[in-house]
């Protein structure tokens, strides 16, 4: 089959690789019909390179049709139309039964000290072949799927793999009070969807980014937008907009590739240039994250408010202003999106109609062969690119 593979820093290519096969009774193979590129893939493309291996298949936002199953896949049958959650989880362990499939105790990547494995997401998350390919082996398939009905286009459902549940969780974890205000930092696919969900829940939404098209995408939907590049003191601007107090909640949908903290960018660059055996420890322990967005969130959230991190961070010794966090009594919530925790709440909203505008959410629909160009375009944010769906 054809698959998009990691070949080196900022280098991906479509290669012919062996078809996946059933290895465990709980496996299924799906033929992929739509598969997306995610902001998280950009971390593998560049800063998380030390954890990648040449030939790794990328991708964790696929959907398709089941073409083969093992003997223990429960009610999952050949011919079923399914969206595949980005994390692999069993559905029956202590964590899964408490709505935390990202921490699944059956599948945790224990040799790396990490939670549930993620498709196509480096050795940190189990080095599982990903879904930017023609076919995908789905482990723990009895639980690692969301069945969707026929009759509507893939675009209606494909974001259940990651963007919708992640953004939904970001807003849930933000604990916005009724009628309250939430600032969403970063208006890539995750922040964009978080704005839509927060609006759906009736909150006042303020969105921040520095890319004109991304700001415009929210402005036309009624979000109050702020261009990062136009304001020296964003915290002050937002306080002025919120009775001098600051917003109840801030969703950080930026993560470790934030613009605006050059010192950390330098370290990140240096780590990226080092040989793997040096770069890994440096990356994991030396606070190489760019913390610009998080610092902004800490500054702007009101006292006693909540910061919900959905942007991915990766350092093990990041310097944090604990005095401020403690004194302002800030609640900090975070984590990978627990897809199956939220999918049952979201799916009915997609079946009733297009509640979140997902049918037209993508800016680019391309073939798998065009994926290398798409990665470049998405990283450089050219051609108005916000979300790419690939059709293998
Ligand atoms: N928690 C999860 O389960 C989960 C799932 C998917 C993605 N993510 C993470 O969410 C983040 C966003 O993903 P995405 O797909 O939307 O990617 P993206 O890279 O397209 O979005 C990031 C956006 O943040 C903007 N930005 C950069 N610095 C900023 C700053 N200082 N202030 C405000 N905006 C800033 C960028 O211009 C960009 O539009 C990434 O870190 C990604 O890894 C997390
Ligand atoms: Zn994703
Ligand atoms: Zn489990």
CATH number at residue 130: 3.90.180.10
* Stated length of the chain: 392
Query: Residue 132: how many CA atoms within 13 Å on its side-chain side?
Result: 31
Q: What is the CATH number of the domain that holds 235?
A: 3.40.50.720
Of 30, 87, 38, 82, which Cα lies nearest the Cα of 59? 38
Provide the domain limits for residue 49: 2-162+337-391
SS3 state at 368: helix
Residue 124's contacts (CB-CB under 8 Å, 6 or more residues apart) are 48, 51, 109, 112, 114
248 CA from centroid of ligand 3 (Å): 33
329 plus 342 within the same structural domain:
no
Q: 37 CB less than 6 Å from ligand 1? A: no
pLDDT at 315: 77
Write out 29-90 in H/E/C secondary structure: EEEEEEEEECHHHHHHHCCCHHHCCCCCECCCCEEEEEEEECCCCCCCCCCCEEECCCECCC
Q: What is the best residue among 190, 292, 336, 384 to mutate for testing ligand 1's pocket, by most ligand atoms within 8 Å of CB?
A: 190
Final residue before a domain boundary, out of 287, 313, 334:
334
13 plus 157 within the same structural domain:
yes
Q: What is the best residue among 188, 192, 233, 387 to mutate for testing ligand 1's pocket, by most ligand atoms within 8 Å of CB?
A: 188
Distance CA 197, CA 194 (A): 5
Ligand approaching nearest to the C-alpha of 313: 1
254 plus 287 within the same structural domain:
yes
pLDDT at 303: 98
Which atom of ligand 1 is least distant from the CA of 261? 31
114 plus 203 within the same structural domain:
no
27 plus 121 within the same structural domain:
yes
pLDDT at 378: 96
| CB distance 289 to 315 below 8 Å | yes
pLDDT at 105: 98
Count the neighbouring beta carbons within 10 Å of the beta carbon of residue 305.
26
Q: 268 CB less than 6 Å from ligand 1? A: no
pLDDT at 263: 46
- Residue 269 host element (H or E): helix 262-273
Which pTM was predicted? 0.95
pLDDT at 234: 93
DSSP 128: B
158 plus 230 within the same structural domain:
no
Tally the domains of the chain: 2
272 plus 287 within the same structural domain:
yes
DSSP 369: G
Distance CA 160, CA 76 (A): 17
Final residue before a domain boundary, out of 334, 357, 379:
334
52 plus 128 within the same structural domain:
yes
148 plus 103 within the same structural domain:
yes
153 plus 275 within the same structural domain:
no
116 CA from centroid of ligand 3 (Å): 8
pLDDT at 313: 84
Final residue before a domain boundary, out of 287, 310, 334:
334
223 plus 308 within the same structural domain:
yes
Exposure b/e, 93-107, CB count within 10 A at least 16 = b: bebbeeebbbbbbbb
Distance CA 309, CA 297 (A): 9
Of 205, 131, 197, 187, which Cα lies nearest the Cα of 164? 197
pLDDT one-digit tens code per residue, 286-328: 555 578 889 899 999 999 999 999 998 877 777 788 999 999 9
164 CA from centroid of ligand 2 (Å): 10
**Atom 11 of ligand 1, residue of closest alpha carbon:** 311
Distance CA 202, CA 182 (A): 11
pLDDT at 247: 98
Q: Which residues of the chain have a pLDDT value below 50?
A: 262-263
pLDDT at 286: 57
324 plus 349 within the same structural domain:
no
């Amino acid at each position: 089959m054809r698959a998009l593979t990691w070949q080196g820093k900022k280098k991906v290519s479509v290669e012919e690789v062996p078809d996946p096969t059933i290895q465990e009774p709980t496996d299924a193979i799906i033929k992929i019909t739509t598969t997306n590129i995610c902001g998280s893939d950009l971390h593998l493309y560049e800063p998380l390179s030390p954890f990648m291996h040449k030939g790794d298949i990328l991708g964790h936002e696929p959907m398709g049709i089941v073409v083969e199953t093992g003997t223990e896949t429960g009610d999952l049958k050949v011919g079923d139309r399914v969206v595949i959650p980005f994390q692999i989880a069993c559905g029956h362990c202590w964590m899964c039964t408490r709505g935390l499939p990202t921490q699944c105790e059956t599948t945790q990547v224990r040799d790396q000290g990490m939670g549930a494995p993620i498709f196509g997401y480096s050795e940190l998350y189990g080095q599982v072949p990903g879904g930017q390919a023609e076919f995908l082996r789905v482990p723990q398939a009895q639980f690692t799927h969301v069945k969707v009905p026929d009759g509507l286009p893939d675009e209606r459902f494909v974001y259940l793999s990651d963007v919708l549940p992640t953004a939904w969780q970001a807003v849930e974890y933000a604990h916005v009070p009724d009628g309250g205000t939430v600032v969403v930092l970063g208006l890539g696919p995750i922040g964009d969807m978080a704005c839509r969900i927060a609006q759906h829940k009736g909150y006042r939404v303020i969105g921040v980014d520095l890319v004109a098209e991304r700001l415009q995408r929210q402005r036309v939907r009624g979000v109050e937008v702020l261009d990062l590049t136009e304001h020296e003191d964003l915290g002050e601007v937002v306080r002025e907009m919120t009775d001098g107090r600051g917003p109840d909640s801030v969703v950080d949908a930026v993560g470790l590739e934030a613009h605006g903290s050059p010192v950390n960018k330098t370290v990140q660059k240096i780590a990226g240039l080092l040989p793997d055996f040096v770069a890994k420890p440096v990356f994991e322990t030396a606070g190489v994250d760019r913390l610009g967005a998080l610092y902004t969130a800490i500054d702007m959230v009101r006292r006693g408010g909540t910061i919900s991190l959905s942007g991915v961070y990766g350092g093990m010794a990041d310097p944090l202003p604990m005095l401020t966090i403690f004194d302002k009594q800030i609640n900090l919530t975070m984590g990978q999106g627990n897809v199956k925790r939220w999918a049952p709440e979201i799916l009915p909203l997609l079946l009733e109609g297009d509640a979140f505008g997902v049918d037209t959410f993508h800016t680019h629909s391309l073939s798998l062969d065009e994926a290398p160009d798409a990665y470049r375009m998405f990283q450089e944010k050219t051609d108005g690119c916000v979300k790419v769906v690939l059709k293998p």
